[in-house]
Homo-oligomer: A and B are copies of this chain.
Amino acid sequence: MRVGLLQINPTVCDLRGNAFRIVQSAEKAFNDGAHFCLTPELAVIGYPPADLLYYRKTVEQCLEAVKWIAEKTAGMGPVLIGSPSIKTGSDILFNSAFLLNQGRIVKIFNKTLLPNYDIFDEERYFSPSEGPGFFEISGQKVGVTICEDVWNDNDFWEKSKYSSDPVKALADMDVDFIVNLSASPFSEAKHKLRLSMLSSLATKYRLPVIFCNQAGGNDELIFDGRSAALDSTGQVIAAAEAFKEDVLLVDLDDPKKNIISCSDFGLEKEIWEALALGLTDYVRKNGFNKVVLGLSGGIDSALVAALAVYALGAENVTGVLMPSPFSSQGSIDDSLKLSRNLEIETITIAIDELMNSFDAALSPVFSGMSRDVTEENIQSRIRGNLLMAISNKLGSMVLATGNKSEIAVGYSTIYGDMSGGLAPISDVPKTMVYAISKWLNSNGKVLIPERIISKAPSAELSPGQKDQDTLPEYEILDQILHLHVQCSASEDEICAQGFSRQVVRQVLSMVKKAEFKRRQSPPGIKVSDRAFGTGWRMPLASKCSIVTKK
């Protein structure tokens, strides 16, 4: 039995394009000897379709696309494709897998477990299936699951999220192997977890498990591909490429014929590749080719520039230097050196005169008041305005360069350095920005000038300013933020880990106050298990007070 895994990179709602990709991949797999093929979850519409599913017409058009794929693959063999379906005579939607054969829809399987946490909102759109089903091919029973359906094993997980277990149900039906149509979003270290979970299932039920994952970036989410097949002992017998499209043929009977493409990456490379894919796809799927970003001489903009060059090519990246009287000569030199290393075009626009114009315009209003953070923000917003103007005129997308640590505590200017179509490293903490930069430099040519890495970080918005005048050391800050943001730890719980209460209280207060900025921030690329963005839904006007006993 040979199974073709069509690890495609769909664009959300590009039904024609996605259908075409599915047919093309299926053709390749069948030509290579597949007996049947399967796609990722919701491959016809692309994951996540979000509120586009509220448009009944769109869901009907998905069905048209499914029928078109059925026709086009009629002469090839059976294909199991992910697409939404409507329960006849109702407006109930399912997240489904359509089995196509000989030009017809033979059977529809619906997803049983609907994730509704973090970035997932599937209960918003779909009704659950009563349970999973199987189909037969060449005398073998193929159990069909969709993504979350395999994520509820009560042996593997400390606590199970759902009361039913579709994998157990299929094992009870005596299936011969299990296939899983997935759109499993990337986060650091998830690949290993996923394989280990699938391996545990295979071993527990003594069943081969075949996992077909989406590839590509859709808005904030990266899908890392890495489709895989595991035999009934839990061994990986085939694995597709990481972070790109692939068509993987899995021979269940003769595993030696299989390919194991993706290898383990180190953490820095893993995040780097995810960010590059996210950046490429976000820019491309939004109809852009080129990007522009401000180069401050700091490490964040340097890393984003290097990433953009890796993702899009140097010819598609423009760096803009916008020095003010507070910019050090070192920062200008470092940015120019970076640009030479990366071979990107630069534009330099000094903002002194613009700052003077704002001072003059505002002096009647501000007379008698001392300078404060207002003037720092004006500078940052002048730069935002210049970048957006260049973007508007030249048709390139602005990249915002903020990292997760500064976005967490609000060490950034809304409508200023937070301006952009995408904030590629908004889910990368500052300490990881350093780690990736060092890894990048150690990885062949030194791209980011050493001084950018070694100097003390500064926003250079006032004379002699340093990040650490305002913020705790990044090593400390990032640990506190990890506990608070990823682990939902409270002040007391973080202090119990040995951090100073004063520092913890300061950080948590900054996180809360910055909520209004994050609400208006550009989308980022999720690489952690909790990113700001659609998976972070915090009230803005809230006041954290507690009842204390007297």
A415 within 8 Å of B (CB atoms): yes
CB distance from A496 to the nearest CB of B (A): 11
Docked pose: A519 CA to B386 CA in angstroms: 21
Docked pose: A437 CA to B229 CA in angstroms: 65
Encode A375-419 as 1/0 by CB contact (under 8 A) with B. Answer: 001100110111011101100000000000000000000110001
A389 and B488 contact, Cβ closer than 8 Å, known pairs A64-B546, A219-B539: no
Encode A87-100 as 1/0 by CB contact (under 8 A) with B. Answer: 00011000000000
Docked pose: A29 CA to B317 CA in angstroms: 67
B14 touches A542 (CB 8 A): yes
Of the listed stretches A177-185, A334-342, A355-363, name the one at the interface; the rest are far from the partner chain. Answer: A355-363
A389 touches B50 (CB 8 A): no
A547 touches B58 (CB 8 A): no
B378 touches A54 (CB 8 A): no
**Across-interface contacts of A13 in B (CB, < 8 A):** 539, 542-545
Task: Give the oligomeric copy count.
Answer: 2
B377 touches A61 (CB 8 A): no
Of the listed stretches A117-125, A452-460, A499-507, name the one at the interface; the rest are far from the partner chain. Answer: A117-125
A389 touches B360 (CB 8 A): no
Docked pose: A369 CA to B353 CA in angstroms: 23
A85 within 8 Å of B (CB atoms): no
Partner of A493, one of B11, B57, B116, B285: B57
Docked pose: A219 CA to B542 CA in angstroms: 9
A540 and B361 contact, Cβ closer than 8 Å, known pairs A15-B547, A520-B521, A545-B14: no
Q: Nearest 9 CB-CB pairs, A to B?
A: A57-B490, A285-B541, A12-B542, A374-B392, A14-B543, A357-B357, A16-B545, A415-B415, A381-B385
Can you list 10 residue pairs at the A/B interface with Cβ under 8 Å? Answer: A11-B541, A12-B541, A57-B492, A116-B116, A219-B541, A351-B361, A356-B357, A362-B389, A378-B389, A381-B385
Beyond A374-B389, A385-B415, list 6 extra A-B contacts (CB 8 Å): A55-B488, A55-B490, A121-B537, A286-B541, A349-B362, A365-B393
